[in-house]
Amino acid sequence: MAADLSGKTAVVTGAASGIGKEIALELAKAGAAVAIADLNQDGANAVADEINKAGGKAIGVAMDVTNEEAVNTGIDKVAEAFGSVDILVSNAGIQIVNPIENYSFADWKKMQAIHVDGAFLTTKAALKHMYKDDRGGVVIYMGSVHSHEASPLKSAYVTAKHGLLGLARVLA
């Protein structure tokens, strides 16, 4: 990462493992203080420890992105710990593959809740801090090829990614 993010604070959801973890590690290398937000508190703490041991600044934050109270509490905890929220990476997500006729409504709602509701809730909570003192900030949603193209076994995922694209356009 070429940018110098010293003095900036980033929140990365779904960052206890996978793509989210790698994003968090790169943000830390660029100088940002990083909040590792995840359902998996132990995993979030482990990633934060890895960053701290490498000389960065990080905390683990327990966060269910589908729960407004948990999101608000988590984002406020980050602002209290680091003084601001400058970057939000809404990365939390899941994948459930089934043809529409076999897709349960519960799985459909779960997919939308994590991807779309989670992005909305974390954005809403982060903007409160980004707008404070006219600081501004950056919001990044994890889209995919499915933000633009369909896939026969991924109806809920494609719908969620289209929703994220719409949310990004509104926010911009």
Helix (H) or strand (E) segment spanning residue 10: strand 9-13
**Percentage above 70 pLDDT, the chain:** 98
pLDDT at 4 over 90: yes
pTM over the 0.85 mark: yes
Q: Which of 103, 131, 141, 157 is catalytic?
A: 157
pLDDT digits 0-9 by tens, 162-171: 999 999 999 9
pLDDT digits 0-9 by tens, 11-57: 999 999 999 999 999 999 999 999 999 999 999 999 999 999 999 99
Structure tokens at 99: 């043809």
User: Which CATH number is 93's domain given?
Assistant: 3.40.50.720
Q: 132 or 13, which is more confident? A: 13
Mean pLDDT for the chain overall: 95
Helix (H) or strand (E) segment spanning residue 34: strand 33-38
**Does the residue 22 lie in any domain?**
yes
pLDDT at 124 over 70: yes
Domain extent at residue 57: 9-171
Domain count across the chain:
1
133 band by pLDDT with thresholds 50, 70 and 90: confident
Distance CA 159, CA 114 (A): 12
**Does the residue 19 lie in any domain?**
yes
For residue 113, what is the DSSP state?
Answer: I
**Does the residue 4 lie in any domain?**
no
Distance CA 155, CA 16 (A): 26
**Does the residue 3 lie in any domain?**
no
**Does the residue 43 lie in any domain?**
yes
pLDDT digits 0-9 by tens, 155-164: 899 999 999 9
**Does the residue 2 lie in any domain?**
no
**Does the residue 1 lie in any domain?**
no
pLDDT of residue 135: 86
**Does the residue 117 lie in any domain?**
yes
Distance CA 125, CA 101 (A): 36
- The answer to whether residue 157 is catalytic is yes
Average pLDDT over residues 135-151: 86
Distance CA 60, CA 108 (A): 29
